[in-house]
């Protein structure tokens, strides 16, 4: 069968890709396992050299890769360039630190020698989404390769061009042939890949429902999985917050990747005393953002990745309005054959509305009123998700205490927007998944933590 890549800015077909047959998939995985048998024995010095080469290629090809993302999933060029830079950064981070992260750890026991060793597992299957088509892959791939693993990628069907380019970059950098491969298959065939006995572990970034299915399948085969799933990040704005800083940070976070980010701010919980002032500042800044052609250098908000995703977002907005929310900006689909959705603000959002209960994966902000700090924290935690959260207050001790102890999320930030950093572990709790990527904890997810004991 064939799968089309469609430009979401104009609905035109970019390219058609022939999918791999089940037999071809099995052959690819067998080849990757064979490459891994040799790769796992390579010294860190070689792995480091090759990963630095990947970073150099990424930076050299930054403009063309940003254009590819703009065409395939609508990312504005400035966002695409930043994404490629971040991919290069994570490659350099693990090239520099992986050997230290994975060195043997001595443990004092009654043995003459005992220690913990970190050994590669084999092939890691990565099931990745379209919203950050390079970054999501490299934040798994850089530590996986440095740990001595191999990888196969099942990318989202609308970004097969990006998937192929990642494979080409790995080959161009000098990594062994077949060590990392892209599988051009629809999502319906993922289970068969997980069932392949040569696949040792699975990492997925995607929706909560997709994560549940992958986790269930992996668990049925006793295979390790890491899930980075949905989020409905709360941002708490207290009465003593710097409102200019808060509004700017909140808008920038809500509109990350045209609103299509798991860690974008989605629920803005504002204490009543400053709600009116914050809301007006927030509305002005949201309204000032330029939506348009992602190939235009001035564009800040591109289209949504697919028309069906845009339409589902609009349904959530309309249902929230029907249940009593007020739309003070946006909320209407522009005419034309495209996937655009404008910056939208809903106020008077209450429990029971989609804007309160569900993840709004697009440029739609939900403003929720809280009487005080305690109610704001209660509302923030009143969600099935737990990926990121932020709090805005001039009292840094207060902010730190709330971030570290009271907000239920995998990452909590004070006076700035939530974002991933190669140096820090990233992941969620509750319905946002389990396991961690990045930092020390990320590279140790897919290794055999092996005890060695010598009498």
Catalytic residues: 228, 262
Q: Hey, which bits of 157-264 come out as E strands? A: 180-182, 199-205, 224-228, 233-237
Q: Are 274 and 237 in contact (CB under 8 A)?
A: yes
- Residues 305 and 394: their CA atoms lie apart, in Å, by 37
For 243, other C-beta atoms within 10 Å of its C-beta total 18
- The residue whose two tokens read 């890709």 is 17
Nearest to 47 by CA among 128, 144, 133, 113: 144
What are the tokens at 324? 């009593």
CA distance 171 to 352: 50
Supply angle C-alpha 55, 30, 32, rounded to 5: 10
Triad 300, 361, 231: Cα angle to 5°: 115
Please state whether 31 falls in left (phi above 0), alpha (psi between -120 and 50) or beta: alpha
Burial 79-98 (b: 16+ CB within 10 A, else e): bbbebbebbbbbbbbbbebb
What are 256's two structure tokens? 């990350």
């Amino acid at each position: 069968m064939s799968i089309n890549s469609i430009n979401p800015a104009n609905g035109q077909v970019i390219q058609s890709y022939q999918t791999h047959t089940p037999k071809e998939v099995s052959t690819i995985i067998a080849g990757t396992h064979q490459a891994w048998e040799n790769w796992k024995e390579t010294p860190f010095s070689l792995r480091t050299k090759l990963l630095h080469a990947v970073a150099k290629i990424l930076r050299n090809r930054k403009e063309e890769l940003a254009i590819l993302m703009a065409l395939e999933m609508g990312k504005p060029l400035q966002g695409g360039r930043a994404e490629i830079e971040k991919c290069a950064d994570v490659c350099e981070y693990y090239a520099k630190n992986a050997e230290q992260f994975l060195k043997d750890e001595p443990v004092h026991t009654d043995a003459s020698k005992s220690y913990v060793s970190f050994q590669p597992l084999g092939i890691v299957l990565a099931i990745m989404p379209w919203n950050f088509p390079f970054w999501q892959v490299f934040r798994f791939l850089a530590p996986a390769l440095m740990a001595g693993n191999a990888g196969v990628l099942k990318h989202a069907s609308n970004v097969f061009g990006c998937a192929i380019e990642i494979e080409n970059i790995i080959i161009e950098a000098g990594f062994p042939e077949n060590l990392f491969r892209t599988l051009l298959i629809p999502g319906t065939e993922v289970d068969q890949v997980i069932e392949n006995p040569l696949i040792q572990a699975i990492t997925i970034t995607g929706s909560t429902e997709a994560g549940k299915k992958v986790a269930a399948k992996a668990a049925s085969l006793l295979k390790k999985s890491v899930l980075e799933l949905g989020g409905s990040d709360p941002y708490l704005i207290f009465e003593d917050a710097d409102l200019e800083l808060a509004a700017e940070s909140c808008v920038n976070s809500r509109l990350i990747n045209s609103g299509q980010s798991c860690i974008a701010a989605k629920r803005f919980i504002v204490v009543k005393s400053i709600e009116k002032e914050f809301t007006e500042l927030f509305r002005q800044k949201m309204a000032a953002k330029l939506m348009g052609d992602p190939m235009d250098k001035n564009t800040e908000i591109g289209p949504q990745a697919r028309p069906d995703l845009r339409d589902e977002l609009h349904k959530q907005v309309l249902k929230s309005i029907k249940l009593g929310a007020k739309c003070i900006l946006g909320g209407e689909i522009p005419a034309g054959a495209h996937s655009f959705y404008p910056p939208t603000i809903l106020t008077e959002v209450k429990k029971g509305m989609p804007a309160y209960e569900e993840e709004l994966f697009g440029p739609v902000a939900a403003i929720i009123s809280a009487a005080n700090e305690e109610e704001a924290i209660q509302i923030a935690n009143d969600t099935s998700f737990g990926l990121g959260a932020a709090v805005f207050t001039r009292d840094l001790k207060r902010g730190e205490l709330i971030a570290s102890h009271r907000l239920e999320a995998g990452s909590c930030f004070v006076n700035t927007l939530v974002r991933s950093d190669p140096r820090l572990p990233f992941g969620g709790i509750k319905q946002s998944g389990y396991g961690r990527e990045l930092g020390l904890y990320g590279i140790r997810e897919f290794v055999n933590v092996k005890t060695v004991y010598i009498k």
